[in-house]
Structure 1
Amino acid sequence: MEADTQGKKAIKFGASGFVGNYILEGLLNDPDYDQVTVVVRKNLNLSHPKLVTLIGDYHSLPSLKDQIVADEVFISLGTTKKNTPDQKIYYEVDHDYPVLATQIAKGKGAKSVFLVSAVGPDAGSSIFYVRTKGETERDVVAQDLLHTHIFRPSMIMGDRQESRPMEKIFIKLFSLLNPLLIGPAQKYRGIKAKDISKAMLLAAKKPAGKVKVYEWKEMNELL
């Protein structure tokens, strides 16, 4: 019997972000994938034989649906209060876009979604950020793909191109605190952006149930 040599197709939303950059690099360098499509607001100025670039955002996504064809969907969309002070637009980026992307990709045959969320999401919370993450997880799961993988990092560590002085202070603090966060508190340990992306790509190679959640411990076990 002849082996099936056809590789997988992946689509990446949020490829220009801190974690997204590493995920894209990993997908392009992974022999399991024949094609990697990115949906970005502006061209990444990146050339690779596997790479297909679609220029779009939440509002133009439906017009791109015929090109959103992949086996696996990787989502690391997000913004900050500083960059997006308007809560309506923040919610659109953090919730509406991931949910719509998953819905369209499923309609075109996607079987698995890999979502970067955050530690401690709660759809019933009175805190906007926590509630948004909880509602995003809930509504991505509701799209009912064959496999939904949710990654919940706490402090994302590493060197960003974007200057965030306060974040650098917190990263130094977490470097000291990490060993002290044990037992149930382990999930609050900081993790490098590169390690989150590596865990996501390794999770894509392992069989999983319908919905699988990865906090610090589960991500670390994959590395």
Structure 2
Amino acid sequence: MKALIKKTTVGQILVFSLKKGESINVEPGAIISATGDIEIKSGISGGLGTGLLRAVGGGESLFINTVTALEDADVEIGAVMPSEMAEIDLDGALILGDGVYLAHVGDIKITSRFGGLTSLAAGSGLMFLYAEGKGKLYITAAESLHQKELKAGEKFYLDNSCFVGANADAKIEKFLAGKGLLSKVVGGEGVMLKFTGPATVFYQSESPRSLASYLAQFISRK
């Protein structure tokens, strides 16, 4: 099996070259095309309970598709919007942001866990998505992907919708930016994340939520 992140005019796509009998796990709706005969089966990673938590709390689909090559095949995988993708050698656990999971190969489960009281107080995103196990994990970031290494005690603030991932033992606090409703409306900020090092943080330069809100104002006028 080979995986290639291929540059396009406005982003990147992921291309898997599979030998007969090899399988990959893919986010539903992410398959662009396939050359060669393949079989696609839908399943729930970690069981029904975990799948429901992932769908309701983590912003992901209830199902994950398993693609198996019935003969040598090439499968193209894409994201919803122009993105930069990355391959991560996972051996443990990684926290993921909403909508960043793309695919995985190996013994990896995609699950959700409660985000804690700081998450509840923020009133948004009560769950965190986790990728756990050993294998290759493929993620996508809107526009461009960045990595921040935090030293012990170092602080880093990030818009919630720009969060892509972090090591599972990272100290993360979620809160509303500003004090009071007026500050939120005038300041234009919503839910923020505060990281305290040591930590490795991945983030995207485009906020899908902000982009959707921007486009909605023009759609609503029609």
- Give the TM-score normalised by structure 1: 0.25
Q: Which has the higher strand share?
A: 2
Q: Whose helix fraction is larger, Structure 1's or Structure 2's? A: 1
TM-score w.r.t. length of structure 2: 0.26
Work out which of the two has the higher radius of gyration on C-alpha atoms and give 1 or 2. Answer: 2
